[in-house]
């Protein structure tokens, strides 16, 4: 070894400890393997310095005739045991991190505590030459007393270890523990922390979580279930309700096709019959939006089928009216017409039916009439790059053909019946006077047309091409240099 190290072993040993601390702090956490390699190398040099000078951690410290040097050597030998424990802990932590990830953090901490405890006992036995049996007996008695005092806390700790080992949930999973629902933000020694949908923080002791019923909404990771319940009149025919709700499901594009969504009867009472629509979406963040959309579609399709969703605020049934007249009431565009205007308008509407797959309005055709969907699901198909794709789906109350009526423009999309559909047709000769007289309806249709034109443009335009940077380095990469 260099002469300086041989002449000043204690000084070099202390310097190595400070170098280890500095290197550990300076190297980024992203370079975990480099940090581990540096610590192993420094520990190896530290061990060589001690053993070379006769400061064997397995024996009593030398320099018995010099109190100052003896105490310094004793401190360095004890430091060797602690340094070894820390190095071994880091090594095991890195190995476990690669195998089990961050979920095993509690187990890593427990192993680290055991390793340090063994190191302290070893230092007391070898370096300080203390009677280990007496120490262990005393420690056992103290452990019993502390264990009884911290029984609840220890239960949380070991429950946390079990949870991290079995992994019923992980950080960022959306779970429910005994009815408390939220996203897991942290799992520590004592508790699991959830961030609820209201933004508040719920702290659940690990001992309670280990015994509770846990629902993990994030597994499997590629589909998330949702359900919508509706209560309808007990006098409505079940088959009519189920068919209307099935059309609502088909009109909701975000629902996954596999597993297929379904409609089921739930309960029946004198006040009403409850049905449930259930399905799956590909992302947790879509659940709320899709639930709202699905309820709206179910409401509209039930109305189109002549079935109303029960409400405690509706004490009397709506007055009887023709299907065309009822459709105008439900239409967001024509609902502002006066009652007599709706009566006259509905008399000039003709009913048309289309089977599934039948074309309603092809792209490129200038429509001289307006369709209002009464029931069924209409598929909207656009063309991009020579390929046809489904851009959206339409349901009861929505209109088709406004581009030809307002500006004599050709339809940009193919409108095809996805299910059996019934639509009411209004000829331009009846519609034009209404648009001229009622500017609010005309403006509403223009806003709808502008929205659809913009949406079609966004969906069919090609993604911008990112320019490739050209430079000397890129030239080298292109040539494999």
- 468: three-class secondary structure by DSSP: coil
- Residue 179 is given by DSSP the state T
Q: What is the DSSP string of 296-313?
A: HHHHHHHHHTT-PBP-TT
- pLDDT tens profile 142-185: 566 555 555 566 677 777 777 777 788 888 888 999 888 899 99
CA-to-CA distance for 400 and 404, rounded, in angstroms? 10
pLDDT at 204 over 80: yes
Q: Are 160 and 106 in contact (CB under 8 A)?
A: yes
Closest CA to 447 of 419, 418, 406: 406
pLDDT of res. 93: 77
Share of the chain above pLDDT 90, in %: 27
Calculate the CA 112 to chain-centre distance.
33
Secondary element (H or E) of residue 456: helix 439-460
pLDDT tens digits, 14-38: 888 888 888 888 887 777 788 888 8
Catalogue all structural domains in the chain, each as residue range(s) with its CATH number: 1-129 (no CATH), 171-214 (2.30.30.60), 222-303 (3.30.70.100), 330-458 (2.60.120.10)
Mean pLDDT value of segment 191-196: 90
Query: Is residue 440 over pLDDT 80?
Result: yes
Cis omega (within 30 of 0) on the bond before 184? Answer: no
Q: 47 and 12 in contact (C-beta within 8 Å)?
A: no
Question: DSSP class of residue 419?
Answer: S
According to the model, what pLDDT value does residue 270 have? 77
More confident residue, 336 or 194: 194
Q: What is the mean pLDDT of residues 245-272?
A: 89
Contact (CB, 8 A) for 363 and 412: yes
pLDDT value for 414: 94
Q: Which pLDDT belongs to residue 90?
A: 84
Q: Quick one: pLDDT band at residue 264, thresholds 50, 70, 90?
A: very high
The least confident of 138-147, 177-186, 197-206 is 138-147
Give 41-90 pLDDT, tens digit per residue: 988 988 888 888 888 888 888 887 888 888 888 888 888 988 888 888 88
Contacts of 353 by beta carbon, 8 Å cutoff, 6+ apart? 420, 421, 422, 423
pLDDT per residue as tens digits for the range 365-397: 999 999 999 999 999 999 988 889 999 999 999
What is the residue-averaged pLDDT of the chain? 82
Q: What is the pLDDT of residue 28?
A: 77
Residue 465 in this model has a pLDDT that exceeds 60:
no
């Amino acid at each position: 070894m260099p002469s300086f190290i041989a002449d000043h072993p204690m000084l070099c040993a202390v310097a190595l400890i400070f170098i280890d601390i500095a290197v550990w702090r300076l190297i980024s956490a992203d370079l975990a393997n480099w940090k581990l390699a540096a610590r192993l190398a420094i520990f190896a040099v530290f061990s060589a310095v001690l053993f070379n000078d006769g400061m064997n951690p397995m024996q009593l410290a030398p320099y018995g005739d010099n109190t100052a040097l003896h105490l310094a050597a004793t401190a360095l030998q004890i430091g060797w045991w602690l340094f070894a424990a820390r190095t071994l802990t880091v090594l095991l932590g890195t190995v476990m991190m690669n195998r089990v990830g961050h979920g095993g953090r509690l187990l890593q901490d427990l192993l680290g505590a055991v390793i340090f405890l063994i190191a302290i006992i070893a230092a007391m036995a070898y370096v300080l030459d203390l009677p280990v049996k007496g120490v262990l007996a005393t420690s056992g008695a103290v452990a019993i007393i502390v264990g009884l005092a911290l029984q609840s806390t220890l239960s949380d700790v070991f429950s946390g270890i079990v949870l991290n080992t079995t992994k019923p949930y992980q950080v960022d999973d959306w779970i429910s523990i005994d009815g408390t629902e939220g996203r897991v933000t942290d799992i520590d020694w004592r508790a699991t922390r959830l961030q609820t949908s209201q933004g508040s923080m719920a702290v659940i002791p690990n001992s309670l979580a280990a015994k509770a019923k846990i629902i993990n909404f994030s597994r499997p990771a590629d589909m998330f279930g949702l359900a919508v319940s509706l209560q309808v009149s007990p006098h409505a025919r079940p088959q009519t309700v189920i068919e209307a709700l099935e059309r609502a499901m088909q009109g909701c594009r975000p629902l996954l096709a596999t597993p297929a969504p379904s409609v089921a009867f739930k309960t029946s009472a004198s006040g009403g019959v409850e049905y449930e629509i259930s399905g799956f979406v590909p992302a947790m963040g879509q659940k709320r939006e899709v639930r709202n959309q699905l309820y709206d579609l179910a409401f509209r399709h039930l109305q189109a089928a002549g079935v109303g969703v029960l409400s405690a605020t509706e004490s009397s049934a709506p007055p009887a009216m023709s299907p065309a007249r009822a459709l105008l009431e439900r239409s967001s565009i024509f609902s502002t017409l006066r009652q007599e205007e709706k009566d006259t308008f509905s008399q000039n509407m003709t009913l048309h039916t289309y089977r599934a797959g039948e074309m309603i309005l092809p792209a490129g055709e200038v429509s001289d009439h307006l369709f209002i969907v009464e029931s069924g699901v209409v598929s909207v198909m656009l063309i991009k790059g020579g390929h046809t794709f489904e851009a959206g789906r339409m349901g009861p109350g929505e209109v088709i053909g406004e581009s030809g009526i307002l500006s004599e423009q050709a339809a940009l999309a193919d409108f095809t019946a996805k299910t059996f559909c019934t639509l009411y047709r209004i000829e331009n000769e009846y519609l034009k006077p209404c648009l001229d007289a009622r500017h609010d309806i005309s403006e509403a249709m223009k806003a709808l047309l502008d929205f659809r034109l913009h949406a079609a443009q966004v969906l069919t335009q090609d993604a911008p091409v990112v320019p490739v940077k050209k430079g000397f380095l890129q030239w080298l990469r292109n040539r494999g240099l």
